[in-house]
Amino acid sequence: MAGKPNGTIGILTAGGDCPGLNAVIRGVSKAAMHYGIKVIGIRDGFRGLVENCTMPLDNALVSGVLTHGGTFLGSSRDKPHKMQVGNKTVDRTDDAVRTYRKLKLDCLVCLGGNGTQKTAFRLHNRGGINVLTLPKTIDNDVAETDITFGFDSAMAIATEAIDRLHTTATSHQRIIVCEIMGHSAGWLCLGAGIAGGADVILIPEIPYDLEAVARHILERQQAGKRFSLIAVAEGVVSREEAKARATADRLTNELGALTRIVTHPSSQSGEGVHLVQEPVASRIARNLQQLTGVEARVTSLGHVQRGGPPTPFDRLLCTRLGTMAGELLADHHYNIMVGLKGTECVPVPLKRVAGIKRIVPPNHPWIKTARLVETCLGADT
The total number of structural domains that make up the chain: 2
**Alpha carbon of residue 369 to chain centroid:** 23
Do 163 and 235 lie in a common domain? Answer: yes
Higher pLDDT, 112 or 168: 112
Do 214 and 278 lie in a common domain? Answer: yes
Per-residue model confidence as pLDDT tens digits over 208-246: 999 999 999 999 999 999 889 999 999 999 999 888 888
Do 109 and 47 lie in a common domain? Answer: yes
Concatenating the DSSP letter of every residue in 223-243 gives TT---EEEEEETT--BHHHHH
CA–CA gap between residue 300 and residue 279 (Å, rounded)? 9
Question: Which string of b and e fits 337-350 if b means at least 16 CB within 10 Å?
Answer: bbbbeeeebebbeb
Residue 251, CB-side half-sphere exposure with 13 Å CA sphere: 9
Asked, for residue 378, whether it belongs to a domain, the answer is no
Per-residue model confidence as pLDDT tens digits over 362-374: 999 999 999 999 9
Asked, for residue 41, whether it belongs to a domain, the answer is yes
Do 178 and 284 lie in a common domain? Answer: yes
Inform me whether the pLDDT recorded for 267 exceeds 50.
no
**What is the pLDDT at residue 260?**
45
Asked, for residue 190, whether it belongs to a domain, the answer is yes
- CATH code (residue 258): 3.40.50.460
Do 160 and 297 lie in a common domain? Answer: yes
- CATH code (residue 18): 3.40.50.450
Asked, for residue 357, whether it belongs to a domain, the answer is no
Inform me whether the pLDDT recorded for 302 exceeds 50.
yes
Per-residue model confidence as pLDDT tens digits over 168-179: 888 888 899 999
CA–CA gap between residue 348 and residue 132 (Å, rounded)? 10
Q: Is 139 a catalytic residue?
A: yes
Do 199 and 296 lie in a common domain? Answer: yes
Higher pLDDT, 254 or 225: 225
**pLDDT average, residue stretch 157-177:** 92
Asked, for residue 14, whether it belongs to a domain, the answer is yes
Contact 111, 24 (CB under 8 A): yes
Return phi, psi of residue 96, to 5°: -65, -45
Do 188 and 242 lie in a common domain? Answer: yes
pLDDT averaged over every residue in the chain? 91
Q: Output the pTM of the full model.
A: 0.89
Do 324 and 338 lie in a common domain? Answer: yes
Per-residue model confidence as pLDDT tens digits over 313-351: 999 999 999 999 999 999 999 999 999 999 999 999 999
Q: What is the 3-state secondary structure (H, E, C) of 102-168?
A: HCCCCEEEEEECHHHHHHHHHHHHHHCCCEEEEEECCCCCECCCCCCECHHHHHHHHHHHHHHHHHH
For the chain, what percent of residues have pLDDT higher than 70? 92
Set 139, 141, 152, 314: catalytic member: 139
**Alpha carbon of residue 118 to chain centroid:** 14
Do 110 and 188 lie in a common domain? Answer: no
Contact 73, 28 (CB under 8 A): no
For 92, 222, 307, 347, the CA distances from 216, given in Å and listed in that order, are: 53, 10, 34, 45
Asked, for residue 353, whether it belongs to a domain, the answer is no
**pLDDT average, residue stretch 107-128:** 96
Asked, for residue 86, whether it belongs to a domain, the answer is yes
Asked, for residue 254, whether it belongs to a domain, the answer is yes
Do 290 and 326 lie in a common domain? Answer: no
Amino acid at 311: T
CA–CA gap between residue 229 and residue 199 (Å, rounded)? 5
The range of the structural domain enclosing residue 177 comes to 154-264+273-306+362-372
Do 102 and 74 lie in a common domain? Answer: yes
Do 103 and 69 lie in a common domain? Answer: yes
CA–CA gap between residue 42 and residue 49 (Å, rounded)? 6
* Candidate from 2-16, 35-49, 225-239, 243-257 with smallest mean pLDDT: 243-257
Confidence label for 6 from pLDDT (cuts 50, 70 and 90): confident
